[in-house]
Amino acid sequence: MNDRSEEIRRVAKRLLAEGKADVVIGFRDSRLPLRATPHFARTPAEADQLVWGLGCTSNLAKYLLDREECVAVVAKGCDVRAIVATVKENQVNRDRVTIIGVPCAGVVSWQKLEAVLNGRDLTEAIQDGDTLVLRGREFEQRVAISDLLQDACRTCTVHEPVVCDVRIASSAPAGGRTDEFADIREFEALSPDERWEWFRREFSRCIRCYACRNACPACYCEQCFVDSTNPEWIGKGNDLTDTLIFHIVRAFHSAGRCVDCGACERACPMGIDLRRLTRKVQKDVKELFGADAGVDPDSPPALAVFRPDDPEDFTW
């Protein structure tokens, strides 16, 4: 167990004992290497199961929605951004949330891990500096952690949480870099036909399981438009057009709200490049309105406000 896990447990037990939290939401190990599962600690014994590591991927801000109890939440930089964004949208009562901020240098993408394993069964993963030693029944392979980090972590600008009530000490790199959206610009440079072909093909493997939507801390509508029967915006079958509209609208609904935590992408069992849509929206909101969700607690969500001189070169 690492120092950060120990510190999280200590903090969790203190918050529970002091009555500052009824539940501490964090992670505990699952039986799979590099995969931690969200954990809801209400007793000291349960708090002792809390861990921190490369497999702590879920965005725990999701679990703050619709919660009556006083909560303490173990939060990475992106989780904190999501909390800030949802607090602004009045979905989470900040007074009832204690943020245990954890500086984070990135988490592992299990889709990337799956690709590296190529069908081999992983039974153990041990961190050795910047490297992970992956072991299975008949193999051992060393992989640079940076090659397994999920893409969202590579462009992360908030290794250090922007807000927190308790900070877990760590040697994670402070701050972050500026996201240049290089991948998005590259895609924009393709022809419309090429983009359409990519879009159709990439999303044709969607199984409409809605894991992307359900993992996203910004998706909290009481009734999602895909579930509406009157009006029925899109069919309930699996017409590719309907799948594409679902993903367009999901991305659009994230405008000015998406914190690019990558929760959607790592939830996708089919490995769809979902961030290629959400990041486009994120980039445009930044370019058009100079806004980035969840970074500044005091600025309103970008699409909830306007300026008289907003760009309108897109109009006829």
- Minimum distance from CB of 88 to other proteins (Å)? 16
Write out the binding residues for other proteins, residues 129-148 only, by CB under 8 A.
137-138
Write out the binding residues for other proteins, residues 43-62 only, by CB under 8 A.
55, 58, 62
- Minimum distance from CB of 12 to other proteins (Å)? 16
Write out the binding residues for other proteins, residues 269-288 only, by CB under 8 A.
269-271, 277, 280-281, 284-285, 288
Write out the binding residues for other proteins, residues 65-104 only, by CB under 8 A.
none
Q: Which is closer to other proteins, CB of 70 or CB of 211?
A: 211
Beta bridge partners of 73: 25, 99
Give yes or no for residue 296 binding other proteins (CB under 8 A): no
- Residue 307, φ and ψ in degrees, nearest 5: -125, 145
Number of CB atoms found within 10 A of residue 10's CB: 14
Strands (E), the chain: 23-29, 36-41, 71-75, 97-101, 124-128, 131-136, 139-144, 166-167
- Minimum distance from CB of 217 to other proteins (Å)? 10
Report which residue type is found at 228: S
Strands (E), 7-94: 23-29, 36-41, 71-75
Write out the binding residues for other proteins, residues 194-233 only, by CB under 8 A.
194-199, 201-202, 204-205, 207-211, 213-215, 225, 227, 229-231, 233
CA distance 109 to 149: 6
Nearest Cα to Cα of residue 112 among 140, 141, 143: 143
- The residue with tokens 């029944």 is 137
Q: 143-182 burial, b for 16+ CB within 10 Å, e for fewer?
A: bebeebbbbbbebbbbbbbbbbbbebebebeeeeeebebe
Write out the binding residues for other proteins, residues 11-40 only, by CB under 8 A.
30-32, 35-40
Write out the binding residues for other proteins, residues 147-186 only, by CB under 8 A.
none
Binder to other proteins among 234, 295, 297, 299 (CB under 8 A)? 234
Write out the binding residues for other proteins, residues 246-265 only, by CB under 8 A.
248-249, 251-252, 255
Binder to other proteins among 266, 274, 275, 294 (CB under 8 A)? 266
